[in-house]
Homo-oligomer: A and B are copies of this chain.
Amino acid sequence: MKKLQKESSCQVTFSKRRNGLFKKASEICLLCGANIGIIVFSPKGKPFIFGHPNIETILDRYFSGSLAMDDYENDSATTETSLCFQELYDECEEALEKLKEEKKRIEHTKEAMKNKGEFWWDEAIDDNMGLEELEAYLKAIEELRNNAARKANESMMCDVVADSGGYFDFGIAADAFNFDHCPSQDFGAAGQL
């Protein structure tokens, strides 16, 4: 499973699957009496909301639970926030990688030219992929930054954003989803109820 390249089919798929998702959610609500809130941002950033009984109720409950939690697990920093942290960390890793690659590329090119006495641009044209790659990456991470930057200092729980685009290093296993390896922090034990 991969990101759909074709814009049109991507949109169609998004629309269809979003409906499917909401339908599934409503079925769970009906069958089990669960309460569910879903917030979906389309690839273009348009939000779609599902909420039963309504989104505000869900968020209220979520936050009251989260706040109650703050005291409880103040020491273990590995909570929700660390999920953000991981995302950002991954981005940083990626950036690092790119920096290194680029650096190597430059040095290599430089070496090659010293030995061969060729001009830069002759080499560069053949070996221009690094730069293009870099450019694409810059675009991606810039988007990330733009989404994140505004709220970096003012937002609610953890203020930064990582993401979206083509990666998704989620362990989508072959057959079934393996949620097992996820740090399922059950803060239920501590929670209300």
A71 to chain B, nearest CB (A): 9
Contact B186 A48 (CB under 8 A): yes
Contact A14 B26 (CB under 8 A): no
Contact B56 A41 (CB under 8 A): no
CB-CB under 8 A for A159 and B131, given A47-B62, A110-B121, A193-B45: no
Contact B23 A10 (CB under 8 A): no
A34 located at the interface, meaning its Cβ lies under 8 Å from any Cβ of chain B in the complex: yes
In A177-192, which residues have CB < 8 Å from any B CB?
Answer: 177, 179, 181-192
Of the candidates A66, A73, A82, A185, the one having the most CB atoms from chain B within 10 angstroms of its own CB is A82
Contact A80 B158 (CB under 8 A): yes
* Identical chains bound together, number: 2
Question: Pick the contact of A119 from B1, B120, B157 — CB < 8 Å?
Answer: B120
A131 proximity list for chain B (CB < 8 A): 103, 106-107
A28 proximity list for chain B (CB < 8 A): 14, 17-18, 21, 40
Question: Pick the contact of A13 from B31, B124, B154, B188 — CB < 8 Å?
Answer: B31
Which A residues contact B (CB, under 8 angstroms)?
1-4, 10-11, 13-14, 17-67, 70, 72-73, 75-89, 91-93, 95-96, 98-100, 102-103, 106-107, 109-110, 113-114, 117, 119-121, 123-124, 131, 134-135, 137-138, 141-142, 144-145, 147-172, 177, 179, 181-193
- Closest 3 pairs between A and B when the two form their complex, measured CB to CB: A161-B188, A26-B170, A51-B184
Known: A47-B65, A154-B182. 10 other contacts (CB 8 A): A30-B168, A30-B170, A46-B188, A47-B191, A52-B182, A54-B184, A67-B76, A95-B96, A99-B99, A120-B123
- 9 sample A-B contacts, Cβ–Cβ < 8 Å, listed by A number: A26-B170, A53-B84, A59-B72, A67-B76, A80-B160, A98-B99, A154-B182, A161-B186, A161-B188
